[in-house]
Structure 1
Amino acid sequence: MSNDKNTGNSVLLVIDVQESFRQRANWAATSNPDVVRNVGRLVDAQRAKGEPVVWILHSEPGSGTVFDPERGFNRPIEGLEPAAGEPVLTKTSHNAFTTTNLQQLLTQQGVHEVVISGIRTEQCCETTARVASDLGYDVTFVTDATATHPIEHRDAPAGRSLDEVLADPRTLTTDAIVARTEYALAGRFARIATTDDLTATD
């Protein structure tokens, strides 16, 4: 399937928009404070069309991190709530397909287009978009319904404060991350869209 037009039923994937991220210090430096509101708008529009929404949560069992289910943060961020009957899948890989039955669900529902939203832009969201494209889905990547955080240089010392990370000129800024993701996906793996594009009414 090509990535430049819609060919049928779509599914909205809400990837890792979970309380785990709000427990991290770098949440204060998120690229998109409106991510929850924009995801909510996409969810409302998708439901209004009678098309499916699938919720994905990331889990790292036994890790002791904020993604360890024992910590209790593996749930949608406050303000977002799966409706009755909407699948909630738990993944342990970066992309939403490899460690879940997502592809089976989409096949059963006759889905042709995958709409991507969530956290983090360049990690789980971008990786899911690439896999979905390789699996033959038309992919729409809604950048302003994703969010990410600054990335430290690979040689940066561990355990630095957020202020130290942000002050380091080698830190990759969120603007740079988002731009690189869009450049990598557009025309190859996905169509880039905005929340307004997908929620506009005629």
Structure 2
Amino acid sequence: MTRALVVIDMQRGFDDLGFWGPTANPDCEANVARLIDAFAGEPVVVVRHDSRHPESPLHPSNPGNALVDAVANADAAVLVTKNVNSAFYGEPDLHGCLQERGIDELVLCGIQTNMCVETTARMAGNLGYDVTVVLDATRTFDLEEEIPGLGVVRRSAAELMAGTALVLQGGGFARIATTAEIIPA
């Protein structure tokens, strides 16, 4: 098998907790950096979210659109830019780039666990890739929404991360791993 590391939306704008709210897993960025180092000599795909909303920290005109240093300095085989949840709906065509390189195993990390990481993992699983999500190299934010028929639903970032792990692994989309499991001591 040929594998690639897919680093999703590790952007400075996600440090704006005034915009996003409380987060979980402060070790995410350090674990992503460790994964990038461990994948030296293997393809690393960097994904950047270019928000269409001018007020978003991730809009291309805002400084928060920039990648965090560990990712910006990575020797990326491909940089995919997107404005939706899935890295498979970006430019250039991620699936095509992976097929050209004969890659059939993906290791995913990044932000947000329950949004872009989960959506990309689900699509990758549906496309036939062998997918691993490195949960401690992801993070997300507390979420609260008014849902018709349910009222106000609140979940902490930690609950959302656990829920994503459960549905991805339980649904057969991906295996869940830790950084230590991917990078043996």
TM-score by length of 2: 0.89
Give 1:29 deviation, angstroms.
2.2
Aligned amino acid, residue 89 of structure 1:
V
Taking only the aligned residue pairs, the percentage that are identical comes to 38
**What is the alpha-carbon distance in structure 1 between the residues aligned to residue 101 and residue 77 of structure 2?**
12
- The answer to whether the aligner puts 1:32 opposite 2:18 as a matched pair is no
**What is the alpha-carbon distance in structure 2 between the residues aligned to residue 103 and residue 31 of structure 1?**
30
| Structure 2 partner of 1:63 | 54
| Structure 1 partner of 2:45 | 54
- Secondary structure of the residue that 1:29 maps to in structure 2? coil
Give 1:62 deviation, angstroms.
5.3
| Structure 1 partner of 2:38 | 45
**What is the alpha-carbon distance in structure 1 between the residues aligned to residue 112 and residue 130 of structure 2?**
20
Aligned amino acid, residue 59 of structure 1:
D
- Secondary structure of the residue that 1:80 maps to in structure 2? helix
Give 1:11 deviation, angstroms.
0.6
Q: Which structure has the larger Rg over C-alpha atoms? A: 1
Greater Cα offset, 90-99 or 64-73: 64-73
C-alpha spacing 1:77/1:195, structure 2 compared with 1 (3 Å):
same
Give 1:67 deviation, angstroms.
1.6
Aligned amino acid, residue 118 of structure 1:
G
> Which is bigger in relative contact order (C-alpha 8 A, separation at least 6)?
1
- Select the residue among 99, 117, 132 that pairs with 2:124: 132
Asked if the contact 1:153/1:172 (under 8 Å) is kept, the reply is: no
CA deviations 1:46-102 (Å, max 9, x no partner) are 11xx21001000012353321211113212113433434532211111010013311
- The answer to whether the aligner puts 1:192 opposite 2:184 as a matched pair is no
Greater Cα offset, 95-104 or 10-19: 95-104
- Secondary structure of the residue that 1:73 maps to in structure 2? helix
Asked if the contact 1:10/1:113 (under 8 Å) is kept, the reply is: yes
CA deviations 1:111-139 (Å, max 9, x no partner) are 01011100000000000000001111000
- The answer to whether the aligner puts 1:94 opposite 2:118 as a matched pair is no
Asked if the contact 1:55/1:82 (under 8 Å) is kept, the reply is: no
Aligned amino acid, residue 178 of structure 1:
M
TM-score by length of 1: 0.82
Give 1:170 deviation, angstroms.
4.4
**What is the alpha-carbon distance in structure 2 between the residues aligned to residue 18 and residue 190 of structure 1?**
24
**What is the alpha-carbon distance in structure 2 between the residues aligned to residue 77 and residue 90 of structure 1?**
15
- How many residue pairs match? The answer is 179
| Structure 2 partner of 1:12 | 5
| Structure 2 partner of 1:152 | 144
Give 1:22 deviation, angstroms.
1.2
**What is the alpha-carbon distance in structure 2 between the residues aligned to residue 110 and residue 82 of structure 1?**
25
